[in-house]
C-alpha cells in the first residue's frame, strides 16, 4: 500500500492537513467498492472521481469525510498504481 505521505504528496497536501487514522477501515473498503462500480470507465476515470470528491469535500469543509475519501484513494492507488490522474 502506498503511504499516507505519498498519497498526500500526490494530492499536493502537507501530511498534517487532514486528521487521519492510520489504518483503513471496513467503511473505507465499502466506500471503495462503490467507486469500483465505475471501473468500466477505466482506472484513470475512477481515480479522477475519487480525487474530485476529495477536493469537493475539502471545499465544503467536510474534513472528516475528505479523510475517508483520502483513505479510499490510498486503497485504490495501491491496487491500481498506473491509474494516477492529475489532481
Span 29-53, average pLDDT: 94
Distances in Å between the Cα of 4 and the Cα atoms of 37, 44, 52, 62, 74 are 24, 20, 18, 19, 7
Residue reference for cell 465499502: 30
Residue 18 clears pLDDT 60, i.e. is over it:
yes
For the chain, domain boundaries: 4-15+25-83
Residue 70 clears pLDDT 60, i.e. is over it:
yes
Q: pTM for the full model? A: 0.81
pLDDT level of residue 72 (50, 70, 90 thresholds): very high
Amino acid at each position: 500500500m502506498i503511504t499516507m505521505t505519498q498519497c498526500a504528496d500526490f494530492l499536493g497536501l502537507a501530511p498534517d492537513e487532514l486528521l487521519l487514522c492510520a489504518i483503513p477501515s471496513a467503511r473505507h473498503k465499502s466506500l471503495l467498492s462503490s467507486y469500483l462500480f465505475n471501473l468500466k470507465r477505466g482506472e484513470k476515470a475512477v481515480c479522477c472521481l475519487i480525487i474530485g470528491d476529495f477536493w469537493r469535500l475539502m471545499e465544503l469543509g467536510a474534513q472528516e469525510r475528505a479523510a475517508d475519501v483520502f483513505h479510499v484513494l490510498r486503497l485504490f492507488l495501491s491496487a491500481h498504481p498506473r491509474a494516477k490522474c492529475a489532481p
